[in-house]
Structure 1
Amino acid sequence: MIEKEIFGILSVLLALTRFSTYFWSIFRGTTRPHLFSWLIWAILMLVAGYAQHVDGAGAGAWATVFAGFACLSVAIISIWKGEKNITRSDWMYLIAALAAIPAWYFTDNPLWAVIIVSLIDICAFMPTFRKTWVNPYTEPPFSQSLAALRGFLSILAISNYSVITLMYPLLLVVLDTSLVLIIVLRRKFIPAF
């Protein structure tokens, strides 16, 4: 059990490092977070952390809850320092994500809650994927790589492996890794401006 707690502590420390570098890049003006993505992520991380805790994830839920509060901070900061080009599709993803939150709330089944939260998180990533595809210099690859690694460590910290406790962190690893690939590969084709 001690190794699970060590992975839990490492994943929180990695999340702290990731968000510290992310905040630094926001205030330097090199990162422009998308308000819609970060608002949804804040809600989702806190919901998923709660679901993981209820299902016995133990230390595996620590980083998720910490990240939820950090995402809320980024969402607030993005009001002033974030992406200003909000498209119709961004609004559609926000509305879809927010509309699905009551479905999570009213389900008594933790599996359905995590499935719904996972689908909402995919919607949350879409505005950031779109923004980053257009301008890959608005997101830092290092910070996003740390997010993927943090997700992997949180998986190792889970005390009780089940579909419920694994689905959301696995999805986050896939989505964060996809964002890193978009950043790195698109930068090869689009010069910095």
Structure 2
Amino acid sequence: MQFMIFIGAAVSLVFNIPYAWATIIGRVRPNKVSWLLWSIAPAIGFFAALSRGWNWGQFPVLISFSTTALIFICSFMNRKSFWAIERFDVICGLVSLLALVVWGLTREPDLAICFAILADIMAAIPTIVKAWRYPETETWEPFVAGVFNAGTGFFAMSVWSFTSLAFPIYLMLVNGIIALVILRKKWWRVKAHD
């Protein structure tokens, strides 16, 4: 069943690389606060789980932080990709960073994952708010790929514990919520035309 995580990784790359390209050409405008912290929090989740030993169920989290880091870097390559950072974004970012600092002080893997999830939630809020107000500045595909990628990790898990399950479950939920927020306006438009 480990082949499923490679399929998930491939799906994630197939949808995230075009999103990165859309960022470079200015078709989407990612929130830099979200994408930076989305790179850091999964990295912490990955390395915290790795501290208990490697299993292939961690591979989707590795792909998650790699692709988010790519998109964050791409957001600096075109001025049209700029999204104004507001006070709310900064507050969410600071709370997210505080959660990461608390993790750094504890060094307990389960606690680290809890704080990594809290940090990631705080990083997601600015993008959820932006996508709710301006869905045209986002595309749904990388978030659906994120759900699929995180879900494939369950096929390869050999240890079923909080440490190995928490972050993949969280990634499925948050990516699903963001995809639905982006798609809701498109669905309403389609229903209005019927």
How big is each residue's C-alpha offset from its partner over 1:83-140, in whole Å with a ceiling of 9 and x where there is no partner? 4221111010011111221111121321111111111110010110111111111111
SS in structure 2 of the partner of residue 79 of structure 1: coil
Aligned equivalent of 1:6: 3
The answer for unaligned runs of 5 or more in structure 1 is none
Amino acid across the alignment from 1:128: T
Displacement, 1:13? Answer: 1.5
Note the 1:37-186 alignment, pairs <5 A.
37-56=34-53, 58-81=55-78, 82-186=81-185
Displacement, 1:65? Answer: 1.6
Which has the larger displacement, 164-173 or 80-89?
A: 80-89
Which has the larger displacement, 71-80 or 178-187?
A: 71-80
**What is the TM-score when the length of structure 2 is the normalising length?**
0.88
The answer for unaligned runs of 5 or more in structure 2 is none
Amino acid across the alignment from 2:135: P
Which has the larger displacement, 153-162 or 126-135?
A: 153-162
| 8 Å Cα contact 1:57-1:160 kept in structure 2 | no
What is the RMSD of the two structures over their aligned residues, measured on CA atoms?
1.9
SS in structure 1 of the partner of residue 159 of structure 2: coil
Q: Distance in 1 between matches of 2:186 and 2:57?
A: 34
| 8 Å Cα contact 2:20-2:71 kept in structure 1 | yes
How big is each residue's C-alpha offset from its partner over 1:23-76, in whole Å with a ceiling of 9 and x where there is no partner? 232234321111000100111111111122223451111221232122122112
Displacement, 1:162? Answer: 0.7
Of the three residues 2, 6, 13, the one matched with 1:16 is: 13
Which has the larger displacement, 35-44 or 151-160?
A: 151-160
Amino acid across the alignment from 2:156: A
Displacement, 1:183? Answer: 0.8
Which has the larger displacement, 116-125 or 57-66?
A: 57-66
Q: Distance in 2 between matches of 1:30 and 1:187?
A: 17
SS in structure 1 of the partner of residue 75 of structure 2: helix
Q: Distance in 2 between matches of 1:166 and 1:75?
A: 26
Q: Distance in 1 between matches of 2:118 and 2:148?
A: 21
- Count matched residues: 188
Q: Distance in 2 between matches of 1:63 and 1:183?
A: 23
Of the three residues 27, 32, 35, the one matched with 2:29 is: 32
How big is each residue's C-alpha offset from its partner over 1:152-191, in whole Å with a ceiling of 9 and x where there is no partner? 1123222211111111110111111001110111334579
Amino acid across the alignment from 1:156: F
| 8 Å Cα contact 1:30-1:137 kept in structure 2 | no
